[in-house]
């Protein structure tokens, strides 16, 4: 019995040493990849508990998606970009851009993201001063962005609020579906707790403490989320959260089912709830004297026909369903038109680029975050489409 106990101790000790060795290895190998695998630049606002970025951060970091160093700079509010005074200078047009990691754009130099490029482009007009502010934070959906507007954006009194919507925002929004009545009744929603399923740095559970402190755990968590089978297994054992959209099935990630036609009932509920969030957003901005400009940013599979074909070839189960890759933007465009909410569909503009040059890519690694070409394209579209 004593020898068995000693063997078990040795196995446990060896396992612990193995994990520590892997952690040490990951810290050495991935140390440079601060944006991709480290949360060094992500922080929590002590006043509000909201996820922001480390304030006044300026450093060259390695972008895993680009495969090269990028210069990331944040301001005294904890958002990407330069500082702006709260009081708007007379005669200045101020544009606040809100979104997730595609707006924060930690994969390119700060000066080359579409927010910075848009300010440079608009500033060429000597008759009008423009300020374009970046309020992007990764891992957030429409609900978190609505709260971000309330706590951080409105005090700057923007003339325009550009809400950039990426399709996985449906997935983020599902965790707030239980509060739908508050949104529909136009009740104050600012005290609703932020979901643990999203990039909420205020979380205190063991998994998130490990996520914030271990390179190995972050690496494994990212790989699990990318694999439908492992993602479903993680949900089953409680390591990942499952919302109304459900777990992966037949090797297909839940996010893909936002394109299923017709939608499953749970997905229809999340679609309608997202619409209510956007309408609420519009009411709030109007009350503050600003104009909401809803901007739809497509997933790469929606504009890159070759990529979607490759997905179908790799996952044969996709042929078991009917897919409509135009469903999210067409649904939102139709309904927001009835509400007279300005809608910019970047999907149409991106598709034009892919038709002109099938070999082009506007995303890192074809389906990652936007690359420099993608940011330039968005800047070009926004500068033409927004009527100042």
The full length of the chain comes to 388
pLDDT tens track for 132-149: 999 999 989 999 999 999
Give the residue-averaged pLDDT of 228-240: 57
pLDDT tens track for 286-331: 999 999 999 999 999 999 999 999 999 999 999 999 999 999 999 9
What does the alpha-carbon distance between residue 228 and residue 211 come to, in Å, rounded to a whole number?
A: 20
* Contact in structure between 278 and 142 (CB atoms under 8 Å): yes
Helix intervals (H) in the chain: 2-30, 34-37, 101-104, 114-122, 142-148, 169-173, 180-184, 206-213, 215-226, 228-236, 265-287, 300-303, 305-314, 327-338, 346-356, 372-385
Q: Which of 24-28, 107-111, 158-162, 214-218 is predicted least confidently?
A: 24-28
Query: 242 pLDDT exceeds 90?
Result: no
Predicted confidence at residue 61, as pLDDT, reads 83
Query: 207 pLDDT exceeds 70?
Result: no
pLDDT tens track for 208-227: 555 555 555 555 565 555 55
What does the alpha-carbon distance between residue 85 and residue 87 come to, in Å, rounded to a whole number?
A: 5
Confidence of residue 36 (pLDDT cuts 50, 70, 90): very low
Query: 24 pLDDT exceeds 70?
Result: no
| Main-chain phi, psi angles of 370, to 5 degrees | -65, 140
Name the residue with higher pLDDT: 378 or 388: 378
Q: Which residues pair with 55 in a beta bridge?
A: none
Give the residue-averaged pLDDT of 196-203: 54
Confidence of residue 383 (pLDDT cuts 50, 70, 90): very high
Predicted confidence at residue 32, as pLDDT, reads 42
Give the residue-averaged pLDDT of 158-162: 98
Q: What is the mean pLDDT of the chain?
A: 85
Q: Which of 152-156, 201-205, 278-282 is predicted least confidently?
A: 201-205
What does the alpha-carbon distance between residue 83 and residue 81 come to, in Å, rounded to a whole number?
A: 7
Predicted confidence at residue 250, as pLDDT, reads 83
**Which two three-digit tokens encode residue 362?**
């506007």
Give the residue-averaged pLDDT of 73-77: 97
Residues near 165 by beta carbon (within 8 Å), at least 6 away in sequence? 99, 142, 278, 294, 295, 296, 297, 332
CATH architecture of 9-385: 3-Layer(aba) Sandwich (3.40)
């Amino acid at each position: 019995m004593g020898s068995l106990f000693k063997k078990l101790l040795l196995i446990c000790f060896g396992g612990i040493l193995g994990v520590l060795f892997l952690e040490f290895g990951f810290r050495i190998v991935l140390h440079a990849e601060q944006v991709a695998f480290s949360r060094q630049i992500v922080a929590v606002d002590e006043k509000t508990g909201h996820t922001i970025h480390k304030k006044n951060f300026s450093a060259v970091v390695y972008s895993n998606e680009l495969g090269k160093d990028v210069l990331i700079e944040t301001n005294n509010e904890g958002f990407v970009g330069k500082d702006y005074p709260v009081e708007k200078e007379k005669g200045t047009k101020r544009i606040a851009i809100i979104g997730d990691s595609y707006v924060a754009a930690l994969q390119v130099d700060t000066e080359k993201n579409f927010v910075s490029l848009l300010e440079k482009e608009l500033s060429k007009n000597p008759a009008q001063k423009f300020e374009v502010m970046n309020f992007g934070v990764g891992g957030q959906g429409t609900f978190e962005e609505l709260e971000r507007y309330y706590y951080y954006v409105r005090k700057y009194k923007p003339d325009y609020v550009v809400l950039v919507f990426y399709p996985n925002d449906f997935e983020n929004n599902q965790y707030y579906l239980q509060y739908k009545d508050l949104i529909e009744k136009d009740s104050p929603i600012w005290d609703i707790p932020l979901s643990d399923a999203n990039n909420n740095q205020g979380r205190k559970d063991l998994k998130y403490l490990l996520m914030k402190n271990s390179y190995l755990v972050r690496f494994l968590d990212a790989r699990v989320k990318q694999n439908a089978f492992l993602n479903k297994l993680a949900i089953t054992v409680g390591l990942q959260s499952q919302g109304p959209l459900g777990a992966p099935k037949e090797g297909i990630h839940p996010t893909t089912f936002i394109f299923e036609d017709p939608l499953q009932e749970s997905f229809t509920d999340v679609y309608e709830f997202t619409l209510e969030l956007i309408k609420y957003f519009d009411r709030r901005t109007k009350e503050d004297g600003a104009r909401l400009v809803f901007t739809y940013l497509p997933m790469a599979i929606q504009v890159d026909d070759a990529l979607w074909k490759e997905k179908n070839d790799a996952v044969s189960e996709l042929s078991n369903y009917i897919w409509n890759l135009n469903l999210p933007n067409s649904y939102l465009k139709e309904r927001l038109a009835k509400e007279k909410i300005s809608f910019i569909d970047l999907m149409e503009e991106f598709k034009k680029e892919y038709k002109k040059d099938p070999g082009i890519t506007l995303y890192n690694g074809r389906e990652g975050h936007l690359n420099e070409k993608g940011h330039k394209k968005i800047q070009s579209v926004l500068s033409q489409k927004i009527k100042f």
